Chains A and B, each alone.
Chain A
């Protein structure tokens, strides 16, 4: 009796042939779409290998294990061949698609037109941040201000030259004693009058002078002033605070105080900023001049001093118990040397190119 035989469709040669046919068809497919057709032909429900599987019933029981294993291996081989080819074709097609989908990323794009805050506002905010971080608060006040707040309380007596119409803009009629504030110092006065002691405030804002309007002067400008009134405040605290401000804004630089005169401070000083560009290296070196400090090593920044006790008295603060310091800088002037602005007039003419020049504001 001959050994039992599987049906012809399931013999080894036939199965190998089917596998080879499937592999050849997959290789012949040039696209994933063709490959999908080939897969359906060679691994789908009606594929010869699937039909062969149904013939298992005719396999004698003693051979089933071996034939089943052969068929399983064959199906796995077909599946593997498909998968390998599919990966190759899919990768090629993806590559082709990506190549075809290339765009010119340098084309102009925009969600919105190019907007910008004004550099003066942005810088004023930044200066304020330095003090908010130290626990100071930001104080504000009216721009049309009483003379008492703007002058008298600050120890500028009735005959002080700053009160002349050549310097100060008066609200009509002058006998009403109202002016456009000439500095933000009246906000310091208001702070002392209304806030509980100790007081640590900065006062940014718009200020007015009957000044020329040219490349270096503008009659409407901005200031940021600071005031600290506490027990035991010293000139050393003023220096430390200005150094901190300078370093936050300009990197590792220090400030220098030159004795000067202001009615509202005593002692008074001009504050110079060590040049943050050349750090003084350009002084006496005509071959490498510094534009930022005009090769002087220092930049005039503002005025400062110990609060005059007369000012404290006018605000009802006991100068025997409290002392204070105050300082003030021009924001436009700071912008001029910090960001190399060439002409003050550009700051108030509203040309959009000026505001847009510092994308996102002053840095």
Chain B
């Protein structure tokens, strides 16, 4: 909402020296978001004069634009720089000599009075005008739009002047235009929150400004709505969505009258384009009072005006020329011919005000905000009117607004206001609110005696009566937002200023810190980067094809997709069931930027269907346990996963070591590090699971539960996602991993007796996993086997073909004595024995 300071001053006795910036600060404190403060008013120097367009010839251009080559009379004192050849403008032979000017605006037309900047002039922003060649002509000046003159934001066409100045003197081509364009002003642009609909008017903003400065407010809508009467145009209200409809009739309008300069300037200042006197007047009053007004051509109305729901199958051609199928939920204005307008949204073509209108029926009504919002949205017709009805207009001002329109039409259009008027329905009154007098003070944490509460609310327009500790507050008709005690608390807080409230720290209940799971995730974000992994965050949206590319089978859990009804992109309409596609996309993006050696990880939710219907319980009380359980049962499972992908070189090539290619060992190492960071040791089993290489995939176990997979990616997947060869990945169910965490763990007593080291080399079938041999050795070695480590894997002579040799360093130690070599050798042999039984291991003797 744009608000010129000069217009606000008309209703609020603001200090004379007040600047727009100061007022903006005061309004911001009161809760109005002032986005900009603009200086406006003509900014001109040099010859800027009134011109009359003599002719305007369309000249289509190769770039698809059509320019107009215009001949403009700028009076005898401003002869053209270059004489315009007679005949250059077909029909102008014998016409007074003018200037040739190229104009791009679609609305320029012969006969208009316009503002012409002549060569040598300087416009807003230091824009200098010179005669210049353009579109094959010498353009000898410029026809100006409002914004080029510093008059607000309208650049949709050139500024068309009224035929007379404010004093009624006819304009003459060549006279200086500056004095016709108003005086310097400041315009505040305010983003009005949805609860303060009344501030979508100069009246509402002036009231806030007056209250902020404690000065008098002069209400432009101070006219009491009379009791219902129906001697004017007949009106029937057939729906509760329209409780009030005022109809006044102005007759005998002179259709040749145009809007005066002061009116068009104000409209331009608030960002509206002048469109003719009758429409300009209704727009002006909407801006002034906030009540959208619709005008009907009284000679084109047939029978009574009826407000009702649309009928099934009914249609309407709106002012924009579109024929719309109506929905029975649409609120319409109708006459005997059927629907003639979408109530509060847009009028219809058949009763539109036209250049020959002499009789105007003025509608000022109150429409249900939800109905108007629904219709405006359904028909994609947001308008200045619907925006106001959606935020609730002041029903108490409808009658005054209708009168204001009538007055202006009489004064400016030469019409007569008919003494017969219709007031159908009445002004809905906001319900009174009872509030404890000390509630605002208690909620704000600021000493606010009930007396102060009373005086603030009274200044805001409420009628307040005190009874004991309680205040009964009847909000004014323009404040439908004041419904609850807390609404009144906010009103009081706004008017005191939140800045006055003293900050204080509440004393929280004693907290337990982060949960073990939260701590584990926090540690991961230290440990994984320290080990060389870079965290990325990706969008969780995927396509079903990406699962095909991952070779995921139809019966795999990861096919339990949850879809979106309105995805951001139709190419990715599902939520991810694995983090890998997002990581692969990040790899591709990095590689496209020349970054090939990557170790990326992501922590985030995956979404596993099915999702079911969730109930929507009422909100006036806590939902039942059953309702809450039904809500949770409707949600898809959303475990948090942790995944990585590695590509290119893990390290180097460096000055001290050769390059080490990233591969399955880093992916498994990532999973292992993650598990250890959480507090677990993982076991691994060879497994086959897409998207991993069937011979290079490890299932990861925490105790008995499967927590993820790691390994090299399947070559088909690698090529489908454009990954570098050998790319490897891991994905863990982080929630499952953390859930597998045992209790706090035990710290053993430490033996200080010496260690005995024994090495063994075991030959096993090449297919036997090392992990199984280790398990066997551990079991056979018993309690004396403190630790073991693999230090060599060898195949080739003398190891028989199809076999491999695994060499382990075993460390034995007893808790209570020095172990003899014999005891250690026995324990070693026992270990080897179990390995032989379980894995077919044969000890190699050196």
A, B: real partners: yes
Interface residues, chain A, with chain B CB atoms under 8 Å away: 107-108, 110, 112-118, 120-122, 125, 128, 132, 134-138, 140, 142-149, 152-153, 155, 159, 161, 164-165, 169-178, 180, 193, 198, 200, 206, 210, 213, 219-220, 228, 230, 232-237, 239-244, 254, 256-261, 266-270, 306, 308-310, 313-316, 323, 347-353, 355-356, 360-361
Q: Interface majority SS on B: helix, strand, loop or mixed?
A: loop
- A-B contacts at CB below 8 angstroms, number: 308
- Return the CB mask of B472-496 against A: 1 if under 8 Å, else 0: 0000000000001111011001100
- Apart from A148-B615, A348-B537, 4 more pairs, CB < 8 Å: A110-B651, A128-B514, A169-B568, A176-B634
B residues in contact with A155, CB < 8 Å:
619
- Measured between alpha carbons, how far is A164 from B536 in the docked complex, in Å? 30
In whole angstroms, what is the CA distance A230 to B502 when docked? 19
Known: A118-B537, A258-B33. A235 touches B506 (CB 8 A): no
Cβ-defined partner of A267 (8 Å) among B493, B510, B589: B493
B442 is an interface residue with CB less than 8 A from chain A: yes
B597 CB contacts on chain A under 8 angstroms:
113
- Structural contact, A137 and B484, CB atoms closer than 8 A: no
B612 contacts the other chain (CB 8 A):
yes
Contact of B505 among A170, A178, A240 (CB under 8 A): A240
Question: With A143-B605, A350-B536 as given contacts, are A309 and B486 in contact (CB-CB < 8 Å)?
Answer: yes
Question: Chain A residues near B377 (CB, 8 Å)?
Answer: 164
Say whether A269 contacts B504, CB under 8 Å: no
B586 within 8 Å of A (CB atoms):
yes
Residue from B509, B612, B614 in contact with A148 in the complex, judged by beta carbons closer than 8 Å? B614
Give complex CA distance A221, B515 in Å: 24
Alpha-carbon distance A116/B508, docked complex (angstroms): 33
Which of A147, A172, A352 contacts B590, CB < 8 Å?
A352
CA of A143 to CA of B30 in the docked complex: distance in angstroms? 36
Complex contacts, A200 vs chain B, CB 8 Å: 506, 508-509, 511
Q: Are B505 and A237 in contact (CB under 8 A)?
A: yes
B621 at the interface (CB under 8 A from A): yes
Residue in contact with A261 in the complex, picked from B194, B526, B607, B656, CB distance below 8 Å: B194
Give 7 closest A-B pairs by Cβ, nearest first: A316-B622, A350-B586, A234-B445, A259-B31, A236-B445, A267-B490, A115-B529
Assess whether A349 is in contact with B586, with CB atoms less than 8 Å apart.
Answer: yes
A258 and B498 in contact (CB under 8 A), knowing A116-B529, A230-B506? yes
In this complex, what residue of B is CB-closest to A114? B532
Stretch among B91-99, B559-567, B726-734 lining the A interface: B559-567
Within 8 Å CB of B493, what residues of A?
A: 235, 259, 267
Q: Which chain B residues lie closer than 8 Å to A256 at the CB level?
A: 499
Find chain B residues with CB under 8 A from A114 CB: 532, 534
Cβ distance B671 to chain A, nearest Cβ, rounded Å: 16
Whether the Cβ atoms of B614 and A177 lie closer than 8 Å is yes
Partner of B514, one of A121, A138, A147, A353: A138
Taking a contact as CB atoms under 8 Å apart, the answer to whether A236 and B446 are in contact is: yes
28 A-B residue pairs with CB within 8 Å: A108-B655, A112-B651, A115-B530, A117-B525, A125-B522, A146-B634, A146-B635, A147-B616, A152-B619, A170-B565, A172-B573, A176-B611, A178-B635, A180-B564, A213-B568, A228-B506, A230-B506, A234-B504, A235-B493, A235-B501, A258-B29, A258-B498, A266-B484, A313-B619, A314-B620, A350-B590, A352-B536, A361-B525
* Chain A residues positioned under 8 Å from B635 (CB to CB): 142, 144-146, 178
Pairwise interchain contact B537-A266, C-beta atoms closer than 8 A: no
Contact A148 B506 (CB under 8 A): no
Q: When chains A and B are docked, how far (Å) is the Cα of A107 from the Cα of B656?
A: 10
- Chain B residues, Cβ within 8 Å of A315: 622
B444 in contact with A169 (CB, 8 Å)? no
Neighbouring A residues of B498 by C-beta, 8 Å: 235, 239, 257-259, 267, 269
Q: Judge whether A115 and B614 touch: CB under 8 Å.
A: no
Task: Evaluate contact between B537 and A240: CB separation under 8 angstroms.
Answer: no
In the complex, the answer to whether A172 meets B565 with C-beta atoms within 8 Å is yes
B311–chain A nearest beta-carbon distance, Å: 23
Contact check, B631 vs A313: say whether CB atoms are below 8 A apart: no
Judging by beta carbons under 8 Å apart, are A234 and B503 in contact? Answer: no
B617 contacts A by Cβ under 8 Å: yes
**Contact between B586 and A260 (Cβ–Cβ < 8 Å)?**
no
Task: Verify B620–A313 contact, CB threshold 8 A.
Answer: yes
Asked if residues A239 and B589 are in contact (CB atoms below 8 Å), the reply is: no
Asked if A236 and B566 make an inter-chain contact with CB atoms under 8 angstroms apart, the answer reads: no
B595 located at the interface, meaning its Cβ lies under 8 Å from any Cβ of chain A in the complex = yes
Q: Is the CB of A171 within 8 A of B499?
A: no
